Structure 1
Amino acid sequence: MNRLFSDYTYMWWKDGFNKGDKQMLFQTGSYGCSLMSSDGVINRLGAIFEPPGADALMQADDSRVLALPECSSEFCIFSDGRYQPAEGLDYIDQDALAVSRILESGLNVQRMDVMYYRFRDSVLKGRLELAAFPRHLAISLWLYVPDEQAVEQTGQSVSVRFSLKLDGCSILSRSGRTAVISAHGQQYFFITSASLSVEKGRVIFEAPVLLKPGTFNGFSILYAPSAQSAQALEAQREVQISAADQYTGRELDVAYDERGYFTVDVSGLTPPGQEQFNQEEARRRYEQVKLSLRNNWAKELLLPVCFIKEKENFPISGLCPFIRDEEGEPNGIAVQLSKNWHKLNSNQEAGYFYAPLNHPKRFWEGPWLHAYALFPLAALSEKRYLYNCTFAQWGGAFAASHAQLCLAGWGGNYQQWESSAIGSFGESFCYDPETAHGRAFIDDIRPLLVYKLNSPEKPRYNWTGCNGGGNFLIYEKEGARVPLKRVRSCFKKQGPNLCEVVYTAVTADESIQLELCAFLPRTDDCSRAMHSFKYTFLKDTSFTRLALYQLGADGYNDNQYRTMSIGNDCGPISFELNGQTFEGEFELPLSERDEYALTGSRMQRIPVPGRGLFVGFFKAEPQKTNFCKEGPVANRFINLLDYRAVINGVLCEKPAVNLRVTHDYGVPCIAAELTVGEEAGSVIKAGSAISGTVEYINFPVQKEYYYGPSKVLRAVPENEFNTFRLAHRVSLAGKYRCRTLLGTLTRSYPITVEVSREQSANIIIEGGFSYVPIVFTGLTSYRGYALEQLTPQGWKRIDQSVYGNDFWQCAYDAERDRYEIIFNVEHCGEPASEYQYRLVKLD
């Protein structure tokens, strides 16, 4: 066991970002908290007993947090001989509506801040930061002063008072930095270097803050929900940690952060610049740090450690950190991947991205990497691990990663943004689950291993042109979009073989419950993602517009494609719209309005007969519509892998298609939608459920624009590129089929197999284009397994390693206390090809 089932963290907006009461909720397996972003007040805090598992919480309502004891926080500074409470909040940017920023988000920590607190007649700006770890909460108070002249006015230090109103509170005991408070029938454990007192139902924390011109400074308070958690927080400070670069032997700096975790500085281990990836040795290289942890406490610990890169340039767009044991076996310890490459410009000509060097919104700007791991340490023990970080390849193919990307240094609304990538050559798919930044759920999308602007003169292994975006559910009533609330993200796997991130939400009218998943596999041909969706109808739901999935989005579709196709397993279909017939590869049916092509406000619900369904856009023409848009430089395509719907009691085996005209940035284009067929009518009854999986692939426009190593893609005839033929070929091979001879198939896409009681599996896969991910679950250990393939010469062990043990991934299922191992195997692209594999337990 490497963590308890309750060692998780979640953070979400109760009613959606900037909607309803603007309340952010935090919930872990041991406590919860809520914060009102409108005034920056913590209004609930307390322990959670009998917590749900992480998966169950994704589907739960808000009741556990909303039932916690109420409190009220106050942020004061000592000025003019008395304490002045903050009078309100100023916007971070005057052209946006944000007073909060999501800084880090993932399985191991959720961190946000609120700023700027405004104090009467003062140049000081206040900042509150909450960092929720599974077993403790860090509350930090910060002050900003702009320059030396302001310090002359305020003095070198200012006393800060932070208080929590907890009705009936009293001090039960004190020991060193720890105080135990009784309130609301609970015990609150606070650990801090600040002074602590109780007065008139308030717990008061007070400390002097040394002002540093041009930046923030402050102090922290740790809250623990139990005596055991509080004792562990104090004991972990005494853990002995050493870290050294495996290649040079250089000792790395290790420090303890007062917010309750250690940091290991892994800066300087990798050269800067994209040009290095032109060399195969650089593509294969990964960082390796030898880590030694010694627990001198007589009880076990779960030690938070953050591996940091800061204040330097490094290939950040697709790096993937992970942990292995000292023998190099991936061991399933989850590493949260939070990062930021955004940095404001000190040149006033930068316009929107300009900020003076000492501006407070630069706090937390990039570039930085924060990779968090929780290490289990038995009592009075020492453990050794390897920290690894790959930037390009893992086992000869390009590694996948899915990270939370902080937007400090960029601007806007500063909310949850996620960036997935294959290799560190730019993003592959981006996600804005709240659509808080105004465009789409699926945002920036970029092809892999093609020349920028499709010009062979441009550098290789670098950022490519964008052909975003896309959406999951679009639900409108009487022409008005119904937004989502309770949007939660769960980072189940963050690479390097397979990324898996789950999203749950409910529509604002609580009619439809959503469960979505984004998968990104390791590969070497095209950027591709599998997107699954499940919609459960909680009420009878009437709609005027309903899209289950969008290729292209209403607010993100500034792309130009000359042709497109809708097809099935036999190839492109023929269909009719308003008396016009479309067949084969046809020109886009554009118009001057945002509407359904040729039908206005009425959805077309185009039926696709036969087996299979794909939609592709071709003849991409690059253009520049905004400061970061240089694309599209890829043809885009979705392939329906599976689908099941029971609508109003009737089984439906395939969705219909809509064609929606968009004018994002003034560019006329089509967004293709999957929707329900005509037989569903305009009301879907409670109890109905719709689920499916699509694969989204970005194809090179021409064969010569692809410079990657994929033998499978290079074997495709040149005349199939930039036509429906490549899409049709991949649609057939991409719907691979798996049958099990030993073990149980629990998911078809990606292939997921529960091993037998003997810890083995034997499967046959038909089809597959390029690398196919395989997940084996139910393993009792992270080590001692091998994947073998049946060949004409008999069973042969698959070994894609470069330096040893470096081609598979391990994940840990804390709720089952079982491990998962993930491989990627290369298939030839022929739909009828067969491959037999077995997972064996080694002696």
Structure 2
Amino acid sequence: MAYDFLMRRSYKAYGAFVLLFAALRGAEGGIIMKFKRWICIMVCACPLFLTTACGEPAATASFEAEPSASAQYQNGFEEYERPSVEDLGKFIQTPSARDYAHMWWQDGFNKGERAMLFQTGYYGMKVNILKASLTNLGVINEVITESAAMTQEPERIKTMPAVSMSYSLEQEGEEFPFSYVQPVDGVGSRIMESGRYMQSMDIMSLRFRGMADAVSGRVEIKAQPRYFSLHFSVHTSEKMPQTGMSFKLNMAEEYSIMERSGDGRVIILRSAEGDGLAALLPEREDVSARLEGTSMIFECAPMEMELNEFNGFGIIFLPLSGQSLAQAEAERAGMFALDIEAEQLAPREGREHEVTLDSERGLYVIDISGMSSGRTTDFAVEKRRNDYDRLCFTIKNNSGQTVKAALLFSKEKGEFGVEGMAGMLRDVQTGEPIGVQVQTSKNWHKYGSDIAQNDVKRYLEGIWYHGYTLLEVPAGEEVSYELTIAYSQWGETYSASHAQLCLAGWGGNLQKWETSALGSSGENMCYDAEMAHATGAFINDALPFATLGGIDGSGMKYNWSNGASGGNFLIYYNQSGSRVGLKSVRTWFKKQGPNLTEVIYTGVTDDGAIQVEYKVNLGRSNDFAKNTHTFSYTFLKDVSFSRLAYYSIGSDDYNTGLWRELAVGNLEGLCDFTIGDTLYNGIITPEYPQSGQYIGGGDMQRIEIEGEGLWVAMSKAEVLTERYGTPSNRMLNLLEFSGSINGREYSKPALNLRYTHQYDGYNQVNVYSLSAELGPSEDVGNKIEAGSRVTGVVQYINLPNFKDWYYGGNQTLESLPEEMFDSWKLAHFIAQGEHFEASASVGRIIQNYPLIVETAAGGEAAYISIKGGLGYVPVTFTGLNSYSGYSLMKKTEDGYELVDQSVHGSDYWQTWFDSEKGAYELTFNVLHSGEPEQIYEYKLIKD
């Protein structure tokens, strides 16, 4: 482990600090750190007990949580008190409840003002895309947690003090002011990265009055929890004279108090109340700043413009809550007071990695290129599935104050398993995950030869991984951790991941796109939360796990499978027949893997009538990608509708599968149902019409399925086009439902079955398909009253068409008879297996799907019993005061035995620190047979 490395060597890189993002494609203003080796005593043996600048929570994770006790700390902001975690003889990372960033479209993509809102634990801002300008900016003094920010009214951000911006170029004494934004392919902005620690976007192309069309401007905005950066750059395809650049930030009139450090590298505008903004200049002699009235002006001296590259400069902005100039200077100095060194542990032990300070964006970049290189079909070789990137790094803080070090682990060279990577930080001595998130943002798209090589939209195309984290380092001390990235497997089975995927190089509207996967051999499900990419679907690409693709299973193992895509959460058409969309859609990448993902979305309908909350989970496993979706709707107003669904598998305008059998059932098997005057014995043989409509040709059928459970299966797929191959089969599985509607309680939704029809212009073919919707029962009518509430948990699972197409290695699945595949029988088997009963004799069950157990204090934290369950069942234990020393035990005939799924030691569970509760969560995946009556007993103990 990394322990051995620390016994033999320490590391030191001469650098600087916390500045955001060196070299999306190469570091502008970066400083390459050189490395020196020297023998040392084990770094982590030194106890690090200094109090940090910020403390932590004791709140609950629910969106209705009341804030916990808070206190004032030296950074000038109110913070949660630091939680009481186990003393392990070294400094323990407990991320602050304020250390997060959100970014969302105010009115939805391409609607309303075209305004993007940002909110972190410390500040908020609004950006107008059409003007390439911040329009509102303000500090947030009180504690607003990441979960609370998900449902906060956007008025808080929209009404912050007004600001404005302008840009200019200068050549040979002539000024060329910014004129307008000319969108690239009709899109004026791109989302580049999105997650807890970094929200970034850019706006282009900026045009300048009097300047040739060959010159294109770009503004990049990167928001970290404590500060943000603005980077202004210019791209030219023609040689031009030396060019100076400048931009101005105009503050509101109350920000009239001007301050400037002696060296001019920090300037401040503040109000009489103390709130304000500090600008921190980069380590570049050609960049300067000055104050004029209530404006900050930033200038870059004339430079030679490299052809077909972006040339520019960036500034870091630090919102202030009464902090003095001296404190702002100290914060900047702290950014440059860190020494960082990193060395590879695997796959090639001993290789040192470069560290780069990006003083224009606010972080240290650790280059992890040249590590694991396996991708897709490479994982057909069994031993490669557990190839991890493992990097041991140490951060030394040479300042007299606690510093939060913002890190970017950057992998931008060569091929690697970008499709499903999951990063985490581990204890260098024990290998245990420490619960600190590593945000994953990535890309794998590249334009074809039809796009000119010097086209500005090629910026950020290609294969890359950006892993962000934020680590606290006490004054005068050092901390060491291991970065581990799993690709195909985590321990004995396939890892789960969910991350934002940059679309530079793909095209479309270039907005936020998310992908989740088991392993790293393709996607299993994609999400378009803003529905910004013209499919009309929240759930987009959906593919089966470990299933041969191509025509009739002719594809290769560990390559992309064939999809059967499309789906939605809320579908709402008003009385006039118009679809009502969502606005203020926010995304919380709460857990990104490798054992269980959890991503939460909130929003409200455009008419302000329905508040929505969605949660998506994917668990580590080797049978199916069991996409578990939770929906919750609160009706804020009376809602009259012509069509309404809580959830659908398949969508009207994105639905890529043609099946010859549609089956409906419960846990007992097939169920009879009636549509119009026709009785079906659980199975419909579709007769596809030439248009989209409900089966039977009328309105919503609102079919009631009696008994326990509800599932819908689509099987016997046919090839539509060679490009699509043979679509996978798929199923919808209802796990839980509760509705309080118009004063009446409901335990199951009604079912609607629909034909969909779309024209595929790319392949010039009509696409006929099926969808299934869960919606209001018949007696609800077409009106849901204010105060009503609906919640449910479903699974969307793509299935292998035939037994010999499946290669995931699950013994239960492999033992099933061939005739169960390509029929409703496989879906019925899964529905039975996925329904389980859980109880706790020590601890408390607080959620069934996925299973969450609240632990008890003491050495025996939980005793649980699970009846049923299929495949690797995720189990999360909450309320723990440490990430270290816990073991999960399983009861056998010989007593309790350790659940050990390791391949390379401590590589089979997941840890997450809950900043709002001040406690840890551990997630395991336990293997069950699918037999509904089989009982499994487990206990979580402290060693």
SS of corresponding position for 1:389? strand
Identify the match of residue 622 of structure 1 among 711, 715, 719: 719
3-state SS, counterpart of residue 427 of structure 1: coil
Q: CA deviation at 1:71?
A: 0.5
Q: CA deviation at 1:162?
A: 3.2
Query: Does the 8 A contact of 1:158 with 1:211 survive in 2?
Result: no
Relative to structure 1, the CA distance from residue 675 to residue 292 in structure 2 (aligned partners, 3 Å threshold; closer, same or farther) is same
The CA deviation at 1:245 is 1.0
Partners of 1:136 and 1:229 within 8 A in 2: no
CA–CA distance in structure 1, aligned partners of residues 455 and 739 of structure 2 = 53
Separation in structure 1 between the aligned mates of residue 621 and residue 102 of structure 2, nearest angstrom: 30
Q: Would you say the 8 A contact 1:511–1:538 is kept in 2?
A: yes
Residue identity in the other structure for 2:659: Y
Specify which structure has the bigger relative contact order, considering alpha-carbon pairs within 8 angstroms and separated by 6 or more residues: 2
Rounded to whole Å, the distance in 1 between the matches of 2:245 and 2:800 is: 60
1:524–1:184 CA distance, 2 compared to 1 (3 A):
farther
1-structure distance, mates of 2:888, 2:156: 43
Residue 171 of structure 1 pairs with residue 258 of structure 2:
yes
Contact 2:171 2:243 in 1 (8 A): no
Tell me if the contact between 2:377 and 2:521 (Cα under 8 Å) persists in the aligned partners. Answer: no
- Aligned match of 1:350: none
Does the aligned pair in 2 maintain the 1:319–1:392 contact within 8 Å?
A: yes
State how far apart, in whole Å, the 2-side matches of 1:599 and 1:566 are: 19
Alpha-carbon contact 1:141-1:218 (below 8 Å) kept: yes
- Work out the CA distance in 1 between the residues paired with 2:873 and 2:558: 23
CA distance in 1, matches of 2:573, 2:329: 49
Q: For the structure 1 residues 667 and 134, does the alpha-carbon distance in structure 2 shift closer, same or farther, using more than 3 Å as the test?
A: same
SS in 1 for 2:445: coil
| Aligned twin of 1:375 | 471
Query: Is 2:291 aligned against 1:198?
Result: yes
Whole-angstrom CA distance in 1 between matches of 2:332 and 2:421: 30
Instruction: Choose the corresponding residue for 1:492, options 581, 584, 590.
Output: 590
Deviations, residues 309-367 of structure 1 (Å, cap 9, x unaligned): 1132222111111110102110011010000001112x2xxxxxx31111111111121
Q: CA deviation at 1:287?
A: 1.2
Query: SS state of the match for residue 321, structure 1?
Result: strand
Secondary structure of 1:87's aligned partner: strand
- Alignment-mate amino acid for residue 338 of structure 2: V
Q: Spell out, residue by residue over 1:215-257, the C-alpha distance to the aligned partner (whole angstroms, 9 max, x if none).
A: 1121111111234566334312221111111133010111011
Contact 1:158 1:210 (C-alpha < 8 Å) held by counterparts: no
Q: Does 2:589 align with 1:460?
A: no
Paired position in structure 1 for 2:268: 180
* CA offsets 1:498-549 (integer angstroms, 9 cap, x no match): 0000000100001000000010100011122100000000001111100110
* Pairwise CA distance, 1:262: 0.5
- The alignment status of 1:660 with 2:660, answered yes or no, reads no
Are 1:15 and 2:107 counterparts? yes
The residue that corresponds to 2:796 in the other structure is 696
CA distance in 2, matches of 1:65, 1:271: 43
Give the direction of change, closer, same or farther, for the CA distance of 1:400–1:244 in structure 2 (3 Å limit). Answer: same
Cα deviation per residue 1:631-669 (whole Å; 9 max; x = unaligned)? 41x210111000000000100110011112211232111
Residue 587 (1) aligns with residue 685 (2): yes
Gaps of at least 5 residues in structure 1 are: 348-353
Paired residue for 1:125? 216
Unmatched 5+ stretches in structure 2: 1-92, 761-765
Q: Is the 8 A contact 2:738 2:746 kept in 1?
A: yes
Structure 2 counterpart of 1:835, from 899, 924, 936 = 936
- For residue 184 of structure 1, report the CA deviation from its aligned partner: 7.3
Residues 575-631 of structure 1: per-residue CA shift (max 9 Å, x gap): 12121222233212532222212233x111111111110011001223338x6x444
1:172 Cα deviation after fit: 2.0
Q: Secondary structure at the match of 2:812?
A: helix
- 1:541 partner letter: V
Inter-CA distance 63–51: structure 2 relative to 1 (3 Å threshold): farther
SS in structure 1 of the partner of residue 618 of structure 2: strand
1:12–1:188 CA distance, 2 compared to 1 (3 A) = same
Deviates further, 43-52 or 582-591: 582-591
SS, match of residue 779 in structure 2: helix
Instruction: Give the match's secondary structure for 2:890.
Output: strand
Q: 1:622 and 1:297, CA in 2 relative to 1: closer, same or farther beyond 3 A?
A: farther
Alignment partner, residue 533 of structure 1? 631
Residue among 523, 538, 559 paired with 2:621 = 523
1: CA distance, partners of 2:735 / 2:387 = 35
Q: Is the 8 A contact 1:7 1:135 kept in 2?
A: yes
The DSSP-based 3-state class of the residue aligned with 1:732 is helix
Distance 2:826 2:903 in 1: 32
After superposition, the C-alpha distances for 1:181-224 in whole angstroms (9 at most, x for unaligned) are 22474221110143222224321111135421101121111111
Structure-2 separation of matches of 1:820 and 1:220: 39
Pick the aligned partner of 1:98 from 177, 180, 187: 187
Aligned amino acid, residue 722 of structure 1? D
TM-score (norm 2): 0.86
2:308 equivalent to 1:222: no
2:644 corresponds in structure 1 to: 546
Matched letter for residue 729 of structure 2: N
The secondary structure found in structure 2 opposite 1:59 is coil
| Residue deviations 1:287-313 (CA, integer Å, cap 9, x gap) | 111111111112212211111111322
Match of 1:365 in 2: 461
The answer to whether the 8 Å contact 2:637/2:786 transfers is yes
Q: Is the 8 A contact 2:833 2:870 kept in 1?
A: yes
Look up the SS of the partner of 1:331 in the other structure.
strand
5 Å matches for 1:30-45?
30-45=122-137
Displacement of 1:80 in angstroms is 6.6
Identity of counterpart residues, as a percentage? 39
> Is 1:115 matched with 2:234?
no
- What is the CA–CA distance in structure 2 between the aligned matches of 1:220 and 1:159, rounded to whole Å? 11
Aligned-pair CA distance for 1:12:
0.5
Aligned 1:142-153 pairs, distance under 5 A: 142-146=233-237, 150-151=238-239
* Coordinate RMSD, CA, aligned: 1.5
Change (3 A) 1:803 1:662: same
Which residue in 2 is equivalent to 1:792? 893
Aligned to 2:543: 446
Q: Which amino acid in structure 2 is aligned with residue 746 of structure 1?
A: I
* Aligned pairs for 1:54-69 within 5 A: 54-69=146-161
Alpha-carbon separation, structure 2, partners of 1:357 and 1:32: 37
C-alpha distance in 1, partners of 2:740/2:376? 49
Choose which of 193, 217, 231 in structure 1 pairs with 2:330: 231
Shift of 1:752: 0.3
Rounded Cα–Cα distance in structure 2 between residues aligned with 1:217 and 1:369? 23
For residues 722-744 of structure 1, what are the alpha-carbon distances to aligned partners after superposition, in whole Å with 9 as ceiling and x for unaligned? 11111111111101111111111
Match of 2:708 in 1: 611
Contact persistence 2:246–2:297 (CA under 8 A): no
